[in-house]
Chain A
């Protein structure tokens, strides 16, 4: 999943980016409102985490311009402004959630997960595809009840495909959701992740779940035997 963090505090940028990347998210960071708006308008994000008091362009203006441009990316406002008016104003301006500083990292994570589920219209954090069960909340994967160990990137890819199960996802979309603005993946990086993921979730002789559609992309689906 691809996140954008628009936050002027360098320390929060560092801590949150590190934590979110550890959780398997691709994170782009903008330190001011102008950069944040530019990133948001030109890239595809699952969730934008937006501070309000930003240099150059206020977070509220960023949000308004984003909505005016027709972008419906979920926005979580992360701010020190804790007044009821601020919250109401932020939510009315088009924010999807509002979290006040200081906050718990777990709570931030849970809210991001909830927004991602909402993006894919999935209320249940547990997604089942045939024998495969993905708990997006606990970030665990099991096949027929047996846990599967995945790297961060493998899990991110699986979660992305799982949220879009039955839909073909092309390589470009996968790159957009797996890698950040400053990541420069090799041309075969996606193939390699697909390959390693497939080995782990489809052990020898097991039912195929991750399908390749030649020339189109990949799809996670349960095929009748």
Chain B
């Protein structure tokens, strides 16, 4: 694809060339037409002048036939000396001719009465000329007036020609001038256009260069639009904002990948150390223990990978699942049943209050994943003797919410901002291998992908996580995250 500069240059230069050529041609033709008109007017005047010299005057045998008189005494001298002319009668016979014609004859034309014909022609001695044929009736001498009724003089034709060399020379000069001046103007204009296009597009070049300098390692760089033209300012702003978004996304993905790699390193180290030590110092019974240990680590890694896949699937399936009215009570009951042994072992006090059967308008699978993770997470992090409450209100399906509360928790207000971050744990260590720290991250991701919102609030030692439709998710304490 051609560059904008090339396109602009081609278009502008072609436009300028056409304009100059067109202008030149127009000027030339207008000037030529004007000059020809003047020449023709001059010719016409000469023809009329010559015609006015002819009179019907019986008794003065100036002409060979009839009583026509050619009185050149009144004519301006230059008309008769610089004009080639002939006078013909209606039969074409030459009555009078200028001496500069010599033996040559001018072509015959027969214009109608009081009509004229104008043509270019070659005069004696190869002179390029222009001639006018004018048909007229000679004036009647004053002595014959009043003329008898019905008397009419014979129709004559005067043909007058002049040298059109000065006109052609003037036109040649005009043409040369137009070529020279037009060419000069064209060259200067082209240079100005090239300079203008280059200068005008320089901000785009600068923008391109700045963009080219931004790569994976310099993604934090931003475009400097301080000297950019006003038209490009919005583009600079949009690109910078887009770079902000790209950087944030990449940073999030990079952090997630780092965290994932980091999370996988410890179980891998456990696997390797367990296997290496068991192989190097085999002991009766220990090999079996080591295999059990390896199997357990494998299960934990499997859970970790499944959680990661859930998050990844959440990313990929935004808007894919169909919303339906999901009854929350059976799902909560099922998860509670699944967690019952842990709840009993930790002597956790449980309250489930779903206001007679709450429902939520959302994809079923998403709701199940979210509730399972919320309750499992709460059970896991509730200490022995703590409390767990699941409350919901589904009186209005579209305004339904589900709160999962547990206490006591060792969290600070500032921890709420990190609660849904993958692999985040309150104590910062990875000692607890039974939980990968992905449960709430999965909840957040799946909820986001299905138009639901999760929010967290801390009331003293009680953590409340609320699940609701987007517009209802102002949070149990307004801490929308």
Interface residues of A (CB under 8 A from B): 8-12, 14-16, 18-19, 22, 31-32, 53-56, 58, 80-83, 100-106
Contacts and interface: CB of A to CB of B under 8 A. Distances in A.
A16 B270 CA distance: 9
B428 interface: yes
Complex A-B, nearest 3 residue pairs according to Cβ-Cβ distance, in ascending order: A80-B265, A101-B269, A8-B431
Given A15-B270, A55-B428, A9 B433 contact: yes
Nearest to B283: A18
Contact of B262 (A9, A16, A81): A81
A9 B266 contact: yes
Contact of A102 (B263, B268, B427, B428): B268
B429 A55 contact: yes
Contact of A82 (B261, B293, B427): B261
Contact of A58 (B273, B277, B281, B428): B428
Contacts of B431: 8-10, 31-32, 54-55
Contacts of A80: 262-263, 265-266, 269, 430
Given A9-B430, A53-B429, A102 B274 contact: no
Q: Report the contact-size class of chain B (Cβ under 8 Å from the partner).
A: 20 to 34
A12 B270 contact: yes
Contacts, number: 86
A101 B270 CA distance: 9
B270 A82 contact: no
A19 B276 contact: yes
A116 B389 CA distance: 55
B272 interface: yes
B41 to A, nearest CB: 96
A33 B293 CA distance: 25
Contacts of A81: 262
A22 B280 contact: yes
Contact of B277 (A15, A54, A56, A100): A15
Nearest to A105: B276
Contacts of A10: 431, 433
B429 A54 contact: yes
B429 A105 contact: no
A105 B261 contact: no
A15 B266 contact: no
Chain B facing A: main interface SS: helix
Contacts of A56: 427
Given A11-B270, A82-B265, 18 more contacts: A8-B430, A9-B430, A11-B293, A11-B433, A15-B270, A15-B274, A15-B277, A18-B281, A19-B273, A19-B276, A19-B281, A32-B431, A80-B263, A80-B265, A82-B261, A101-B266, A101-B269, A102-B272
A49 to B, nearest CB: 12
Contacts of A54: 429, 431
B297 interface: yes
Nearest to A59: B429
A80 B428 CA distance: 13
A101 to B, nearest CB: 4
14 contacts: A11-B297, A12-B270, A12-B273, A15-B274, A16-B277, A18-B277, A18-B281, A19-B273, A19-B280, A19-B281, A55-B431, A82-B261, A101-B269, A105-B276
Chain A facing B: main interface SS: loop
Nearest to B296: A11
A54 B271 CA distance: 20
Contacts of B433: 9-11
A55 B273 contact: no
Contacts of B273: 11-12, 15-16, 19, 102-103, 105
A18 B427 CA distance: 27
B259 to A, nearest CB: 10
Given A18-B277, A19-B281, A103 B428 contact: no
A100 B427 contact: no
Q: Tell which of A31, A100, A105 has the most Cβ of chain B within 10 Å.
A: A105
A12 B268 CA distance: 10
Contacts of A106: 276
Nearest to B268: A102
Interface string B120-132: 0000000000000
A104 B276 contact: yes
B282 to A, nearest CB: 11
Contacts of B261: 82
B430 to A, nearest CB: 6
Contacts of A55: 427-429, 431
Q: Tell which of B280, B427, B429, B433 has the most Cβ of chain A within 10 Å.
A: B429
B214 to A, nearest CB: 23
A76 B427 CA distance: 23
B241 to A, nearest CB: 29
Nearest to A80: B265
B270 A103 contact: no
Contact of B281 (A16, A22, A31, A100): A22
Q: Tell which of B269, B270, B281, B293 has the most Cβ of chain A within 10 Å.
A: B269
Interface in B211-266: 258, 261-263, 265-266
A104 B429 contact: no
A105 to B, nearest CB: 4
Nearest to A103: B269
A22 B297 CA distance: 23
Contacts of B269: 9, 12, 80, 101-103
Nearest to B262: A80
Q: Tell which of A18, A31, A83 has the most Cβ of chain B within 10 Å.
A: A18
Nearest to A101: B269
A62 B239 CA distance: 46
Contacts of A14: 274
Interface in B261-309: 261-263, 265-266, 268-274, 276-277, 280-281, 293, 297
Contacts of A102: 265, 268-269, 271-273
Nearest to B433: A9
Interface in B401-429: 427-429
Contact of B430 (A53, A83, A100, A103): A53
